[in-house]
Amino acid sequence: MYKQIRAQTASFVRGFYSIINPDWLAMFSPIELQQLISGDSVLIDLEDLKNAFSFVTSCSKPPLLGFAYLEPPFCIRCVQYTNEDQDVGDTLGSVLKGFFGFGSRRGEEQARLPSASTCFNLLKLPNYASRSVLRDKLRYAINSNSGFELS
C-alpha cells in the first residue's frame, strides 16, 4: 500500500516541512502528532455539558444555548473559547467545572457578539431572540479566533 500512495505522502511531507521545522517534531509523541495532523475525536456527553453550566443572569429565563443542536466539534471550540489553556482532555465534563453562561436583557446587546473571560471560564451571551442568531453569533466569534476586540 505504501508504494501506491508514495507520491501523495511525499507531497504531504514536503508541504508539512515547509511550514514546520522537522526538528520541532521530536517534542511530540506519535499520538500527539497524529492529533495535530488529523484532529481529535473528543467524546461529548451533552448531559455532562448541561450539568456543568451555571447561569448568572437577570433574565426571566437563561439564554437559548441549544447545545444539543450544535455539532460536537463546534461544542469543543465553544469550550476552548472560554477555557484559558485550550485543553479539553478526553471528555468535556472535567474541564467544565465552573463554566458559566451570562445573559443580558438589554435590547442593544442583541447586536453584540458573545465574549469570553478565560480567567473565569466565563462565556458572556446576550439573550438572543433565537437559537439560530445565537449559533451564528457564537460561530462567528469563535471562528474569527479573536479575543475581546470583537465583543
DSSP strand pairing (99-103 vs 53-57): parallel
Q: What is the pLDDT of residues 24-67, one digit of tens each?
A: 888 878 887 777 777 766 666 666 666 666 655 555 555 445 54
Q: Residue 137: is its pLDDT beyond 70? A: yes
- Residue ranges making up the domain that contains 11: 6-38
Cα angle value 87/90/91 (rounded, 5°): 95
Q: How many Å apart are CA 69 and CA 132, to the nearest integer?
A: 10
Model confidence pTM above 0.75: no
Is there a single domain that holds both residue 16 and residue 58?
no
> Is 78 a residue of the active site?
no
Question: Which of these is catalytic: 59, 75, 78, 119?
Answer: 119
Residue of 75 and 111 predicted with greater confidence: 111
Is there a single domain that holds both residue 34 and residue 50?
no
Q: Give the CATH number, domain containing residue 129.
A: 3.30.2410.10
| 8 A C-beta contact, residue 138 and residue 116 | no
Q: Which residue has the cell 514536503?
A: 14
